[in-house]
Amino acid sequence: MEITEYDQFKKSIVPYGLDRGAPKFDIIETKTKKDQHYNLAVQQAQKEFENLKQIADVINKQAQQIKERLEITELIYNAERTFTPVVGARYWIIKDTKKNNIKIVVLGPNDWSTNPPENYQYISEVQFLANGLWEKL
């Protein structure tokens, strides 16, 4: 290929060198560039997916805790009690085997001077929360 006089004027605008001393240029394979961009996009998407998965795990854990609180709260509101609960205080859910019902009591299994009544089956220790829910401890 011969360089014409016209080509000399295009030197500054052509994407390749026209002189022997011009910088060397290599052809960039489009497929390789596409693969690199695709791999970067996949990495970024995986990172975002992992972040969202962690957030979802936290939300699922919180939802499970709320569900458990609601179940305990329903059990307690259907249970027999002889006192008005105080926010932040701890109580016990028991099953009275003599009367075959669920009760809320103040004394735990280790709070008795002797032994707890034989008909008490302790189920769980709970705490009354300010929002009206109960939490299992």
Our measurement of the distance from residue 81's CA atom to the centroid of its chain's CA atoms, rounded to an integer in Å, reads: 37
- Whether 4 shows a pLDDT value over 70: the answer reads no
Find which of 9-23, 51-65, 69-83 is predicted with most confidence, using mean pLDDT: 51-65
Identify the residue with better confidence: 8 or 41.
41
- Whether 1 shows a pLDDT value over 60: the answer reads no
Our measurement of the distance from residue 30's CA atom to the centroid of its chain's CA atoms, rounded to an integer in Å, reads: 40
Q: Give the burial class of 133: count Cβ atoms within 10 A of its Cβ; 0-12 exposed, 13-18 middle, 19 or more buried.
A: middle
CB-based contact 126:91 (threshold 8 Å): yes
Burial of 26-56, coded b for 16+ CB within 10 Å and e otherwise, reads eeeeeeeeeeeeeeeeeeeeeeeeeeeeeee
Task: Say how far apart CA 112 and CA 14 lie, in whole Å.
Answer: 96
pLDDT tens for each residue of 56-74: 999 999 999 989 888 888 8
Residue 95: both structure tokens together:
């099953």
